[in-house]
Amino acid sequence: MTGLILLAVYIAIFAVSMVIVAWATKQFFTRADFTSLKTVTFGDESAVNANRVASVISVLAIFALWVAFTNSSLPLFKAKGPFEGMVEFTYTATLPDGRSDDASVSILVYPEDIQLTVDANGVAGKIPEKLKVDLGDGFAKNDTLVIPRYGSKLISVFQNDEFKKSDGAIVTHLNGQALEPGEQILLSEGRLALTEKGTPFFEPSTGFRMARLYLPAPEVTTNRFLQLNREGYRNFTLLEHTWASLQRVLLGFIFGALVGIPLGYAMGLTNWARGWFDPIVEFMRPVPPLALIPLMIIWFGIGETSKVILLFLAALWIMAIAARSGVSGVAIAKVHAAYSLGAKKSQILRKVIIPNSLPEIFTGARVAMGVCWGTVVAAELVAAEKGLGMMIMVAAKFQLTDIVIVGIILIGVIGFAIDIGIRKLEGWLVPWKGKV
């Protein structure tokens, strides 16, 4: 339900901000560059550019929804939160002989993550004690209990009463309203019900926000990031975890490229090598690297070696295929021209085939780095002592969702940065790409 509301709000933000920005752009900016003068834009891919205002709003919208649907303390728009505080209701106990008596139940609903928070003095929160209440008169006595937010509890109202359930006492009214077993009353504070067996049951209302266990608020995540940065996690700093993952990826990728690129060239240049390696490459290419993890562990143990070899295998086939198609992509006129200009085979390779295959190699490198980065996180889920994948895996076992989210954001940001880095390198080394 909350998910659907979230989706609806998100779509609404998309549409409304589009209309507003389009209107504002029209009001305050007049552009007359070639693209904006095109009358046909729908269907003309070259007329479509990423609207950077949309990108900024998109990121802000995710952040705003994150704040709105979690128990964040940031002063932004908030969805209705879970009930927290005191709620009191009465129950009427009736005995078989018809005597009845009223008593009250006082419930304190406390934040479910209270033990994870600290107050202004740096003191960690504690689960609150039950309130002291006057037992009251009559045979039914007043009750008190504490419930965490998002929780629920059966209320053993007869526990302190003079007549127990075994004496035939039953609850007939809640808050003065007659209730059969299985019926319920909806209060603004939550749901009050009688179970099938006649026991009162209270569930505080949850609102539309997600509990910290499912999605911690942005500031909680940020604080966790700062704390991880300061104190590290599991004997290693955040930087060491990140570097451990990055190092495995780089090692695996470099070895994969060092073997894969010459292999691809050989396959592109000689019949024998193509025939020899074709079945191997075509067989290994569709095998997802994750499927090799168990075998790598059996062969090379659970240490670094097996992880680097796994990443090496992930990069190897991609780079080999990229280099092979780079060689096939050479226009035969270029090779013929070079031979006619007196080039020898080694010169053809160095001056024509290698430079000509660079665009394909870079495309392959981007794919391979992406696959390696995805694989390393999975590889670290099994027996690693450091690495981002290990960090989120261990944190998940302890239900530390904030660390999991810090890890996911870091993995995403670093993967994005790697891709941008390769693209920059490509623009510098292969300036002719797409211009021929």
Which residues sit at the interface with other proteins, rule CB under 8 A? 331, 333-334, 336-344, 347, 351-352, 355-356, 358, 430-432, 435-436
- 275 is written with which tokens? 């025939």
Shortest Å, Cβ 338 to other proteins: 7
Shortest Å, Cβ 34 to other proteins: 20
Distance (Å, rounded) from C-alpha 322 to C-alpha 279? 16
Q: Cα 334 to the chain's mean position, in Å? A: 48
The nearer residue to other proteins, 234 or 344, going by C-beta atoms, is: 344
The nearer residue to other proteins, 40 or 333, going by C-beta atoms, is: 333
203 sits in which H/E element: strand 200-204
Task: Using CB atoms within 10 Å of the CB of residue 250, give its burial: 0 to 12 exposed, 13 to 18 middle, 19+ buried.
Answer: middle
Shortest Å, Cβ 350 to other proteins: 11
Distance (Å, rounded) from C-alpha 215 to C-alpha 211? 6
Shortest Å, Cβ 265 to other proteins: 16
The nearer residue to other proteins, 108 or 358, going by C-beta atoms, is: 358
The nearer residue to other proteins, 276 or 432, going by C-beta atoms, is: 432
Q: Are strands 190-194 and 200-204 parallel, antiparallel or unpaired?
A: antiparallel
Of 393, 368, 373, 414, nearest to 248 (Cα)? 373
The nearer residue to other proteins, 235 or 340, going by C-beta atoms, is: 340
Q: Cα 178 to the chain's mean position, in Å? A: 47
Shortest Å, Cβ 228 to other proteins: 45
Of 240, 262, 204, nearest to 390 (Cα)? 240
CB atoms within 10 A of CB 149: 22
- 77 is written with which tokens? 């728009």
Task: Using CB atoms within 10 Å of the CB of residue 80, give its burial: 0 to 12 exposed, 13 to 18 middle, 19+ buried.
Answer: exposed
The nearer residue to other proteins, 362 or 373, going by C-beta atoms, is: 362
Shortest Å, Cβ 348 to other proteins: 10
The nearer residue to other proteins, 321 or 352, going by C-beta atoms, is: 352
Shortest Å, Cβ 323 to other proteins: 16
Shortest Å, Cβ 426 to other proteins: 13
Of 233, 240, 171, 242, nearest to 403 (Cα)? 233
Q: Cα 330 to the chain's mean position, in Å? A: 42
The nearer residue to other proteins, 108 or 338, going by C-beta atoms, is: 338
- Per-residue b/e over 206-234, b at no fewer than 16 CB within 10 Å? bbbbbbbeebbbbebbeebbeebeeebbe
Farthest-apart Cα atoms in the chain, separation? 116
Shortest Å, Cβ 435 to other proteins: 4
The nearer residue to other proteins, 153 or 351, going by C-beta atoms, is: 351
